[in-house]
Structures are given as C-alpha cells and as structure tokens.
Amino acid sequence: MTTAAIPAGVRGPADRVPVPADRTPAPTGREKKALGEKKPFDEKKPGDEKKPLDLPPLIALSLGYFLVMLDVTVVNVAIPDIRASLGTGPSALQWIVDGYSTVFAALLLLGGGLADRFGHRRVFLAGLGLFTTASVACGLATTSGLLIGGRLAQGAGAALLVPASLALLQATFPDRAVRARAIAVWGAVASVAFGAGPAVGGLLVSGSDWRSVFWLNLPFGALAVLLTLRHIPSAAPRPRTRKTDPVGQTLAVIGLVGVAGGLNEAGSHGWTSPLVLSVLGVGTAALAAFALMERTLESRSARGRTRRDPLLRPSMFRSRAFTATTVIGMLISLGYYGMLFLATLYLQQERHFSALGTGLALLPSVCMGLAAAPLFSRVAARTGPYVPMAAGLVLGAVGFLGWLLAGPGTPYPVLLFALIATGLGQTMTALAAVAAVVEAASTADAGIATAVLNVSRQVGSAVGVALFGTFTATADDFTSGLRLSAGIAAATFAIGALLALSIRRRAREAQA
C-alpha cells in the first residue's frame, strides 16, 4: 500500500506497534499540520461535518481486492468443464483450486515487506499487472500444467497487491471517520465478489466456456491500473540505506507453503498421512527458524551490528492491540470458513441441493458485507474498531449455535438466522480487524502489518476446513460432526469477543 500518517485508534502507548527510530523520522510542524495530529477515537459530536470519500482511488483499491476474492470462488464452478476440456486428473484439479490460495498465503509476508521497502503504489501496480497477466495465461492454457502455473502466478500477484492496497488505504484516507467508511466499502466489495463468484462463474461457463472466468479479470484489472496511475500519487522514494533479509524471506515462504499446503492436504489425506505430517513438519521447522532469525536480526540491527533489516520485526507483537487483533483474525476465519465449508456439504449431501441452489442458499451469509459495511462505518467512526469487533463476534457466536438445529430434514428458513448472523458477525469483525491493524501500524510497517493479519486469516481458514472436515468424516453421521463443529466455531468467536473487549478496556484505561 503508500505512505502517510493516520489518526490513531483508542490505545495506550503499549498498544502502538513499536517503530525503530532510524526508520520513521519525527514529522516537522508543517508535516503535522498537513497530515493531521494522531488522536484517539472519541465520540463524534453532533454538528461534525461528514467528509466526502475520494471515490477514484477507493475504486482502484477495491477493484484489486475484488479480483483477489472473486478468483477464490469463481473457478470452482468451471472445474467440470476444465476436466473435460484439458483431460485433467483429480490431483491437478486440486492444484488448480488450492494452488492459488496456497501461494497467496505463502507470499503475503514477502509481499508486505516488498511494499514497505519499494513503495506501496509500485508494488500494488506490480501485483495488479502480474495478476492480470496470469489471468491471460490461464485463459490461453492448453494443458493442465500451464493452467496450474497461471493459477500459482495469480496467487503471487494477489500476495503483492493485498498488503499494498491496505497500506494505500491508510495513506489515502488519513481521517479516521473517512477511513472507516473507505474500509467498509473496500470490505463490502470483497464480500460481494466472494459471494457472487459461484453465480458469476456459472453464468460465464454456461454462456461461453471455462476460459471466460479468467478473461473476466482483464477489464477490471486494466481499470484498476488506470485509476491507480491517475488518482493515487506516488510517494517520495525511501532512502535504501538498509539491506534486505533474503534468508528470512526464504524461510517465511518455505514455512507458509508447508503449513498452508499441509493443512490443505489434511482434509483429503487425513492428519496422520506421511505426506501431511512431512509437509507440516517442514513448514513448522522453517517458521521456527524464521522467528529465531528475525529476532536475532532485529537485535543486531538495534545495536548497530548489521545494516540488514528483518522482514518481520518481532517487536511489532509487543503491541497488545496488534497481537490480539491478529489472533482474532485467525479465530474468525477458523470458525466461519470451516463452517461455510460444512454448510456447503450439508446442503448438497444431506439436503440434495444443486450447485446453483447451494450458492443461492448461502447468499444470505456470504453477501452480508452489504449490510455490515454501512453499519461498521457508522459505529467505528464514533467508537473505534473494537466496539463493532466485539459486537460482531458475539453475534457470530450466537449465530453458530443456530446450526445446532440442523438435521437431515430441517427446513431452510430455520437456518436463515444462523446464516445471516454468522455472515454479518464475521464481516463486521473482519472489517474492524482491518481497521484496528491499520490504526495500530506505523506508516513504515503498514504493508507487513496487514500482511500478518492476512496470513493469520489464511491459516485460520485452512485449519477450520481441515479440522471440521475431519470431525464430519469421523463422526457417526454428518449432522453430529456439523453440530460439534458449530459448537467449536461459537467458542472461537466467544474467545475473540473476550479479547476484543479486553483491548477496548485497556485502551479506555490508558486514555483516562
């Protein structure tokens, strides 16, 4: 994403992500006046003027995330046609679907670090260019191998543009109230893309062929590039007096590929599979080595014994707000996406819904961004992110309990509360988590901070799908596993709510 100071949320000194003195010089008086002093969230006074959103840059940034989220689900509907057209086997089909998300998760930290180092706008454009070019490669693919390669490249492009887009939101909308509305729009667009993916894919495949789901990305990608070039200014180049961290970058990629890939395989091969255990073992070892390397490198850098900066500074996790929000991001993805996976299986296997019928039945949940976005922006502008975050988590926890009523013959209207409450609660919490991390991060660390949040969400989603899939596979019947998973999902959201309330209390005490 870009560079600019932003107003801080409600937090004490311990909640701010620590910033090395040599990386972020103190702003001058003129800069403070131009950028606005940081001040805590407070109650909005009656008479405060509502500032307008600058739409062109917001559309550009939202379109980038729109493409990323659309391609998570739009390809699934095209899988039968891809198999028939290219003669693709089951293993290759799985890589076409999961390879994208695996590479996306694996390269997020690297993408965030590159954005902070080389400029958020530059890396955002590079990610858009790579994603759009990879979509062309997918559309032209004549073999399974070429299509898989294109999907992996799409994941790499997504990993570059997502952290950069959030950092650009931080810089483009420095006013806290305006930024809350901008994040709400950004998140609502992504929610619509994710929910509409199956329906859009079905329409494109039925009206043309499977290649059209990739050609769809071209006009959106081109428009996002054009709007970015015209309406998002390039920040002044940062002096590159420090060296990069190639060892840390390599260990992070290996570790995240191993963990994400192992979790993806656990759902189909089982947790005790030698392949799954080996991949998870390598990933865990690499991440442990990465953490040790980054801690050592940061310590040496602080003492002036090296000019090399760590990819991810462990001191960032001294911020209670940042650490707790990252954990909350993992918890909501574990609970929500794990249950969304089971809800899809429940509707198709237990209720015998068609693929299109299942997609339509899930719309009340996956499209809740349209309702959550305006609600979040109104509340967050007045209270900060933690009030809507806690409210969303409580609502989601109650919603998951509604799945305890699910059975082979449960009428669909009975499940509507569970679908709506969990979708609204998850989206409200996700938007609040993004806002909280953007508020807690310094400009110098905006890219890597948002990348950490996205990594935690990707890992949480993979854990939820694999874990809940195991519960249903080993239970006496599907609905028993579904109810157990719903109880665990409710518990993860309840734990998240306690964390959010704890951060909010500490922030109010620090402000007092």
Instruction: Check pLDDT > 60 for residue 498.
Output: yes
- Residue pair 242/307 in contact (Cβ under 8 Å)? The answer is yes
* Residue listed under structure tokens 């667009």: 189
Question: Distance of alpha carbon 326 from its chain centroid, rounded?
Answer: 11
Reply yes or no on whether the pLDDT at 332 is more than 70.
Answer: yes
Q: Which are the contacts of 340, defined by CB distance < 8 A and separation ≥ 6?
A: 362, 365, 366
The three-state DSSP-derived secondary structure of 230-296 is: HHCCCCCCCCCCCECCHHHHHHHHHHHHHHHHHHHHHHHHCCCCHHHHHHHHHHHHHHHHHHHHHHH
The top-scoring range by mean pLDDT among 74-78, 150-154, 165-169, 451-455 is 150-154
Residue 13 pLDDT > 60, yes or no?
no
Contact 56, 230 (CB under 8 A): yes
Per-residue confidence (pLDDT) for residue 508, from 0 to 100: 82
Q: List, as own/partner pairs, every contact residues 479-486 make where C-beta atoms lie below 8 angstroms and the sequence separation is at least 24, other chains included.
A: 479/346, 479/350, 479/406, 479/407, 479/408, 481/342, 482/342, 482/346, 482/403, 482/406, 483/403, 483/404, 483/406, 485/338, 485/339, 485/342, 486/339, 486/400, 486/401, 486/403, 486/404, 486/406
The single residue listed with the structure tokens 């609204």 is 424
**Which is more confidently placed, 97 or 61?**
61
The answer, yes or no, to whether residue 176 has pLDDT greater than 50, is: yes
Mean pLDDT taken over the chain: 83
- Among 48-52, 68-72, 263-267, 341-345, which stretch is predicted with the lowest mean pLDDT? 48-52
Long-range residue pairs from 202-208, CB within 8 A, at least 24 positions apart, any chain: 202/77, 202/355, 202/356, 202/359, 204/74, 204/78, 205/77, 205/78, 205/81
Q: What DSSP character marks residue 312?
A: S
Give percent of the chain above pLDDT 70.
Answer: 88
Q: What pLDDT was estimated at residue 462?
A: 83
Highest mean pLDDT among 238-242, 328-332, 371-375: 328-332
DSSP output for 368-381:
THHHHHHHHHHHHH
> Averaged over 115-139, what is the pLDDT?
93
Give, as one character, the DSSP assignment of residue 118.
H
Of residues 387 and 188, which shows the higher confidence score? 387
* Maximum mean pLDDT: which of 327-331, 363-367, 439-443, 448-452: 327-331
Cβ atoms of residues 111 and 1 within 8 Å? no
Q: What is the DSSP letter of 409?
A: T
Q: Who has greater pLDDT, 131 or 370? A: 131
Percent of the residues in the chain that have a pLDDT greater than 90, as a whole number? 36
Per-residue pLDDT of 232-270, as tens digits, reads 987 765 555 567 778 888 998 899 888 888 887 776 677
- pLDDT band for position 313 (50/70/90)? confident
pLDDT tens per residue across span 215-224? 999 999 999 9
Residue 305 has pLDDT above 60, yes or no: yes
Report which of residues 432 and 176 the model is more confident about: 432
Quick one: pLDDT at residue 495?
Answer: 97
Please compute the mean of the pLDDT values over residues 115-138 and round it to a whole number. 93
For the ranges 74-88, 416-430, 438-452, 454-468, the maximum mean pLDDT occurs at 416-430
For the chain, what is the radius of gyration of the CA atoms? 22
45: pLDDT strictly greater than 80: no
User: ∠ CA(151), CA(154), CA(159), 5° rounding?
Assistant: 130
User: Which is more confident, 6 or 404?
Assistant: 404
